[in-house]
Amino acid sequence: MATGPTHKIAILDDYQQVALGMADWSALQSKADISVFHDHLADPAAVVARLKPFDIVCVMRERTPLPRAILSQLPNLKLICSTAPRNASIDVAAAKELGITVCGTGYTSHGAAEVTWALILGLVRNIPAEAGSLRSGGWQIAVGGDLDKKTIGIVGLGNLGRRVGLVAKAFGMDVIAWSQNLTAEKAEAAGAKLVAKDELFRAADIVTIHLVLSPRSRGIVAAHEIGLMKPTAYLVNTSRGPLIDETALIDALKHRRIAGAALDVFDTEPLPATHPFHTLDNLLATPHIGFVTRETYAIFYRDTVENIVAWMSGKSIRVTQPA
């Protein structure tokens, strides 16, 4: 006698409605009912109500947090498949206590480095406003700047920071860097010069942030650092919103103490409709698209399917450990 699917899978926050097309899910068709949700739920009670029927939940990085308070109300949940190797918004320790397996996927950081440069060029050459002028029937409205012989300050010279620095060199820029554990030797090997944190913010024409969010790095760019920047300088963040003191940045932009900023990440995502960032004309903002590329999504969903198939078969998977 034939039996129906034995598992219920939820795919969350599929904003672009592409999850099922980015990988071959056919291996799961006879074993699971798959539900895809394209909207985002911010209310924890609504998240619990949605997820209660499911024993497998697929989350896209840090879009829907899964803290202990939510996990403890999902008795059916047995497997969380997150994209990328780590996801700081999942309480992995609580999941382990509750008997819930958490697994991750492969990842490529190319997209985040590339979008960093898209934002930098957009800022320096005033591209959004110029494009808007042309679209509305106008012509040139501002004078942009050069990158050649300018200084870029990279806060965090890891994989992403190094990639950004290499492109800066190609543009003829001087590259300076700082992070809490960076040494002069490591900076030099990456084509950068190690400087003190305050010196970086004073000297750089562009400051770009490339750090992992942690208790130590949260708010690492605050009013003091922003206050050191030149009035002609720009601040760019494509890593995590809480690395920068949002209130201090808004104040600096409103009073034009810096030339502008570009952000792909925010304290609260999606960005609330009433947020001041929507109205600042010296801010270039994008909706956390640094990792949103076809190539990255293909890795995410391919590995997600493989993880679920392996878990159902009792085989080993890429288990995420507590941070």
Distance of CA 16 to the CA centre of its chain: 16
How far is Cα 134 from Cα 136, in angstroms, rounded to an integer? 5
Catalytic residue IDs: 240, 269, 288
How far is Cα 200 from Cα 243, in angstroms, rounded to an integer? 16
| Residue spans of beta strands (DSSP E) within 99-233 | 101-103, 151-155, 174-178, 193-194, 206-209
The verdict on whether omega for the bond into residue 5 sits within 30 degrees of 0, i.e. cis, is no
- 271 touches 287 (CB < 8 A): yes
CA Rg value for the chain = 22
Distance of CA 57 to the CA centre of its chain: 20
How far is Cα 18 from Cα 138, in angstroms, rounded to an integer? 36
Closest CA to 293 of 152, 110, 153: 110
Task: Kindly state the tokens that stand for 204.
Answer: 């750089």
How far is Cα 178 from Cα 224, in angstroms, rounded to an integer? 16
- 210 touches 158 (CB < 8 A): yes
How far is Cα 239 from Cα 54, in angstroms, rounded to an integer? 31
| Residue spans of beta strands (DSSP E) within 171-253 | 174-178, 193-194, 206-209, 234-237
